[in-house]
Every structure is written in C-alpha cells, then in structure tokens.
Amino acid sequence: MIIGILKESGSENRVAILPAEVVALKKLGIDVLVENNAGERAFSTDNAYAEAGARIADRKQVVSEAEMLLSVNPPVYDDFNSFRDGQILCTVLNPVENRDWLEKARLHGLSILALDLIPRTTRAQSMDILSSMATVSGYKAVLEAASLLPKFFPMFMSAAGTIKPSRVLILGAGVAGLQAIAIARKLGAVVEVFDVRSAVKEEVKSLGGKFIEVEGAKEDITAGGYAVEQTEEFKRKQQELIQQRAIASDVVIATAQIPGKKAPVLLLKETVNSMKPGSVIVDLASSTGGNCELTENGKNIVVNGVNIIGKSDFPSEMSSDASKMFGCNIINLLKIMVDKDGRLNLNMQDDIINGTTAVHGREYISQKVKQMLNTK
Ligand code: NAD
C-alpha cells in the first residue's frame, strides 16, 4: 500500500507522521509519499523524511498516487477535485462540526477513518489519539496558567519571608484533567478537583489532588466510562461548591466534557467576578461551549482582572511531541489493518475498525457517527 502524508492548512502546526514513524511504516511494508514541507512546522525537513525512506512530492501527486491519505484535520474542500472513488482518508473528523464535509466525502465514495471515533477500550488504548492530545492539552494548560499568574506555584521560604503555594482548581478529571493535576502538583501547587464520576476519586488522590465530592451525581454504566448530564438539583449544589472553591483559587483548569453534547457550564459570571484579580482560568472545553460562562472560543480575554483562556489549540503549539504521539497512535491502528505484505484489509468485523470507519462504500458505518449525526 502507498500512504500519503498531507501538509496541514491554516494555523495547524502538527503533521500526521514524523520521519521516525516513516521508518515504522516502511517496516510494515508500506510505501510513504510526503507532501513538500508537510513537517516544516513540526520541525521536520523534507530531507529528514527522505532519509527515513519517504518520497517527497507535490500535493497533486501525493493525492493521485496514495491509496490512503493521512492528515491531522480534514483536508480543504478544494481537494475533492483530486480525491477519487474508493480512496481512504484517515483524519480527526469531528463529525458534528464537519457534517457537510463528511456527507460530501460519502457521496464522493471516499472511506473516512475518523481517528476521534476510535473506541475507548483497553485494546484500542495505544491508538487513542484523543487521549494523546488531551495529555498535551492538560500539560500545556497548567504551564500557560503558571506563566500568566503573577504568583509562584510552589511555596517559597526565603529571607524575604514565606510565600504560600498557589491553589489550583481542576474541573473534570478525565485524561486532560489528570495530566493537569500531575503537572500542577509537580510545580508545587495545592490542587482541588471536581468530577461527577466517583471512579476517578482514587486516581485524583494518588496524584496528590483533593477530590471535592458533591452528593447525588448521576452515573450511567452504559455510558462507557463517560460522564452523563446531571439533574438541575445536582447542578445547583455543584455550582455553589465550585463558586466557593474558585474564589479561594488562583487558577482554574476547566476540562469537563460530555461526549456529543455542549460542555457543562460550571463557572458562572458571578463566580468569575468574585475571583481574585490576576487569577487565571484555562478553559479546555472552549470548543464545545466552555465550562466558564464568559469563555470566548479561540480568544484570551480579561474580565474583572481575571484571565480567561479560550484558546484550545495546545497540541498544535506543541507540534513536535504532539505529532510524535499522533503518528505512533496511527501506526498502532494500521498494525491491525494491514497484512504481513503491507496490504490493507479493512475488516469491518473488527470492533476498532468498524467503530472508527465513519463512511465506507457510500454508507455511514460507525454507530457513534450515526448517533451523532442522527442518520440511519
Ligand atoms: P472527557 O473529555 O469526555 O471529559 C473530561 C472529564 O469531565 C470526565 O472525567 C468527566 O467525568 C468530567 N465531567 C463531565 N461533566 C462534568 C461535570 N458536570 N462536572 C465535573 N466534571 C465533569 O473525558 P476523557 O478524558 O475523554 O475520558 C472519559 C473516560 O474515558 C474516562 O473514564 C477515561 O478513563 C476513559 N478513557 C478510556 C480510554 C481507554 O480505555 N482507551 C482512553 C481514554 C479515556
């Protein structure tokens, strides 16, 4: 099989595969074509790709020769002029936001493997791009907050007196939240954490965070380990407690999400207005509406002296390691899709392949994508 690596458009700095992962693809018996300058913003030159065994070509040639194309984000609409029936495209789809793009891809006869639909199962853990990118985001969110905060994170005992450690409040202890706890603790902050899933309590404690429990959380074992929407009574109780803890905090890292739904609003305008001037809120849920009522997606704003960070492109800012993790996840996925001679075998009986395939043969395949788009 020939795989083509596309250069990303817009402000995206990542690339789907770095040169080291080209070597791994070659070991699987796959030929690799890389678009000119595809790795430039992830600090990998065309020469490095060529030395790893890839061929470098212009976009037109990559699209026309490759059986499968890899990209971080869905390619631009213009590319549909060059895509052909039966071609496979592997990308982070974001099906709800890219509904029209996906429908066009389906009608065009493309097969779309959506990397954000990979099931969150133990077998698929090594392919889980959402977890990899959430790890990057949780890490970077804390560093961003620490660099904006006009205070130290750790406690300092100096000749000039004792400086108290900063207090960090983390909303949501999924992959990003747990990473944020670990980094904030390593920097010496005191960390408090809210989540609606009681299962994370022990993990939070083992990372050195204090879990703040709100009684009456609704949990659903059929939700596959994810959170579900809460009752109005619970939301009111939770908001009161969050308000108390946020006012006492210097930093809030907000990561709470409910798959396929708008993010829960946990930090109200009046809470922000009562926070200390100079405090920082990093809202990693900004692209799905934000956990803070005042967050503006993609923008950093200051309200009443409080910094509210609504930029959510941290993986793109850490293009080198984020691309490394992205590529390794893709290779692990490809290992279950190619035979020993590097030929593709899209076995739809395999739960990972089936769950990841958004469209194939002009049909919607993945149950999750059907639910999200409400199609049959
Ligand atoms: P996510 O991004 O969907 O949500 C982040 C966190 O926000 C979750 O912990 C969720 O419980 C929490 N949350 C939602 N609503 C909230 C509210 N109102 N108040 C406070 N917190 C709220 O989560 P994720 O990081 O994608 O992980 C979700 C689940 O998937 C976890 O159980 C995780 O362990 C599991 N997971 C499994 C695998 C795997 O096995 N391959 C990989 C990654 C994650």
DSSP sequence for 66-116: -SEEE-SSPPPGGGGGT--TT-EEEE---TTTTHHHHHHHHHHT-EEEEGG
**Burial (CB count <10 Å: 0-12, 13-18, 19+), residue 367:** exposed
Number of the ligand 1 atom closest to the C-alpha atom of 130: 26
Strands 190-194 and 210-211: parallel
The answer to whether the beta carbons of residues 233 and 305 sit under 8 Å apart is: no
Nearest-CA residue for ligand 1 atom 16 is 256
What separation in Å is there between the alpha carbon of 113 and the centre of ligand 1? 23
What separation in Å is there between the alpha carbon of 254 and the centre of ligand 1? 12
Nearest-CA residue for ligand 1 atom 18 is 264
Residues of the chain with pLDDT under 70: 222-224, 375-376
Query: Which one, of 368, 372, 312, 355, lies nearest residue 113 by Cα?
Result: 355
Alpha carbon 129 to its chain centroid, in Å, reads 7
Q: Which residues line ligand 1 (CB under 6 A)?
A: 120-122, 124-125, 128, 130-131, 134, 171-177, 194-197, 200, 225-227, 230, 255-259, 264, 266
Nearest-CA residue for ligand 1 atom 4 is 257
At residue 376, the pLDDT reads 57
Query: Which one, of 56, 61, 123, 110, lies nearest residue 336 by Cα?
Result: 123
At residue 215, the pLDDT reads 85
The answer to whether the beta carbons of residues 163 and 189 sit under 8 Å apart is: no
What separation in Å is there between the alpha carbon of 133 and the centre of ligand 1? 13
At residue 265, the pLDDT reads 94
**Phi-psi category of residue 141: left, alpha or beta, with phi > 0 → left and psi -120 to 50 → alpha:** alpha
Between CA 288 and CA 139 the distance in angstroms is 20
Number of the ligand 1 atom closest to the C-alpha atom of 134: 25
Number of the ligand 1 atom closest to the C-alpha atom of 259: 3
Between CA 310 and CA 271 the distance in angstroms is 17
Q: What is the dihedral of CA 121, 124, 126, 127, to 10 degrees?
A: -120
What separation in Å is there between the alpha carbon of 131 and the centre of ligand 1? 10
Catalytic site residues?
120, 125, 128, 131, 226
For residue 210 the two structure tokens come to: 């204090």
Mutation pick for ligand 1 pocket among 226, 262, 267, 286 (CB with most ligand atoms within 8 Å)? 226
What separation in Å is there between the alpha carbon of 226 and the centre of ligand 1? 5
Nearest-CA residue for ligand 1 atom 27 is 174
Sign of CA dihedral 28, 33, 39, 44: positive
Query: Which one, of 298, 332, 322, 314, lies nearest residue 15 by Cα?
Result: 322
Between CA 154 and CA 187 the distance in angstroms is 6
Is residue 243 classed as helix, strand or coil in its secondary structure?
Answer: helix
Between CA 105 and CA 288 the distance in angstroms is 24
> Whole-model pTM?
0.94
Cross-strand pairs, 360: 363
